[in-house]
Amino acid sequence: MRYLLIAALLVLMNGCASRPQGRLCDGEVASLYGKSLGKTNAWIFDQVTHFTISKQSVRIDSGLLSSSDNQRYIPSSVTTQGYYAQRLGNNRFRLINAPQNLMITWTCPAPGTE
């Protein structure tokens, strides 16, 4: 019984300490007016309150996403690079670069389906 309790405790600790799993997500590059400019992909690590986008050697962290009312407004933040980051849903993320008239919207496969 003691060994079973220790084993269960170790499994619980490993589960809580695990790093977020990244998902390879397809992205649509568009102008701010919605004109499609191409496709891309990136790894996205979602932690609900923030997300990280990684492609090759570039990593962009959204920072803490906030919204005064998540039912009415999209949780968003400004990254350290000056991009506007939005979490559009459980599987959709967006970065906006207004000075360059660009936005990328990534759609990820649902967890467990990739």
Higher pLDDT, 52 or 17: 52
User: How many folded domains does the chain comprise?
Assistant: 1
Question: Alpha-carbon distance 86 to 88, whole Å?
Answer: 6
pLDDT at 113 over 70: no
Indicate the DSSP class of residue 68: S
Q: Which pLDDT tens digit goes with each residue over 70-98?
A: 788 999 999 999 999 999 999 999 999 99
Q: Is residue 1 part of a domain?
A: no
Looking at residue 69, its pLDDT comes to 86
Structural contact between residues 27 and 42, judged by C-beta atoms closer than 8 angstroms? yes
In this structure, is residue 114 part of a structural domain?
no
pLDDT digits (tens, 9 = 90+) for 3-12: 444 555 555 5
Residue 25 lies in a domain: yes
Residue 43 lies in a domain: yes
Count CA atoms closer than 13 A to 96's CA, side-chain side: 13
* Domain presence at residue 5: no
Answer whether residue 76 is part of any domain. Answer: yes
Tell whether 102 is covered by a domain: yes
pTM (2 decimals)? 0.79
pLDDT tens column, 15-35: 454 566 899 999 999 999 999
99, part of any domain: yes
Range of the domain at 47: 21-107
